[in-house]
Amino acid sequence: MISIVNRLTEIEEIHDVSIIYAGESGSRAYGSETSYSDHDVKFIYYRSLKNYLRLTPKSDVIEELSHNSLELHGWDLKKALDLFRKSNPTLYEMLHSPIVYRENNDIIEELRGLVIEWFSLKRMSFHYLNMASTNTKKILENKLHDTVLIKTLFQAARAYLAVSFIVKEKQLPPIKMADLIRLQPIDKQTFFQEILDAKRNNKFLASASIESLLIYIQTELEELRHIVKDLPDQKVDEEPLNQILWKLLGV
């Protein structure tokens, strides 16, 4: 963690930005990492007021890939707020990562509160539903390498559990796979725990287990697709988002 924190400070100096939030995403956030997993860190930053008033704006993305098993992806705050308006699932997962390296408590807590108030359950559900469907089809239509297969199976299972949670609870889902599993009926928990354990340990699952999971997920997704259409899709009030940006810029 120390090297990640130090690298974030270096990025601030190199790019002349201020990072207000940074946290793990992907397998480490989901609790499905292996001993070989890279650190996939996403962060939000902002620039000085002068930079936002340039005739040619600077890039709203900062990326460093494969840097000593560390991948960093940063969004300018203005870009992040624009994605907020669209109920972007990646932004939601980023802000609720269980592993945080940098956080401006006041701003981020305000954003998290607005997420609960304004994020569209309908859009989030369709995102996870489509992810589950796409990954399920990949497994059925292709002969995937064992490692790719278990990753794809994991993504399908996690996405299904997320949309299932939203539909049942009318709330946004937990990030960690283990938390999603615990919220399933007892008779289904073992079913999904096998997937999580296989992902963590790079183990191969018996084809019969995979087939059972796919049949179950496909059947459930067809029912969920009809329900998702009727979920609320509220319009975001932009003014609180503008206030967050203005506050940081001192205007």
Q: Which CATH code is given to the segment(s) 2-119?
A: 3.30.460.10
How many other C-beta atoms lie within 10 A of the C-beta of residue 226? 8
Domain covering 121-228 assigned CATH 1.20.5 in the classification: no
What lies within 8 Å, CB to CB, of 109 at 6+ separation is none
- Contact, 84 vs 115, CB < 8 A? yes
- 57 phi, psi to nearest 5 deg: -60, 150
**Taking phi first (over 0 means left), then psi (-120 to 50 degrees means alpha), and beta for anything else, what does residue 72 get?**
beta
Q: How distant is the alpha carbon of residue 173 from its chain centre?
A: 10
State the pLDDT at residue 35: 82
- Contact, 125 vs 166, CB < 8 A? yes
- Listed by start position, the domains of the chain span 2-119, 121-228
**pLDDT one-digit tens code per residue, 80-128:** 999 999 999 999 999 999 999 999 989 999 999 999 999 999 999 999 9
Residue 177: strand, helix, or coil: helix
153 vs 156: CA distance, rounded Å = 5
Please tell me the pTM assigned to this model. Answer: 0.91
- Contact, 97 vs 25, CB < 8 A? yes
- 53 phi, psi to nearest 5 deg: -105, 10
What lies within 8 Å, CB to CB, of 143 at 6+ separation is none
pLDDT in tens, the chain (251 residues): 558 999 999 999 999 999 999 999 999 999 999 888 889 999 999 999 999 998 998 899 999 876 678 899 999 999 999 999 999 999 999 999 999 999 998 999 999 999 999 999 999 999 999 999 999 888 877 756 666 788 899 999 999 999 999 999 999 999 999 999 998 888 888 889 989 999 998 887 777 677 777 888 889 999 999 999 988 887 888 999 999 999 999 88
Residues in the chain: 251
Place of tokens 């996405």: 159
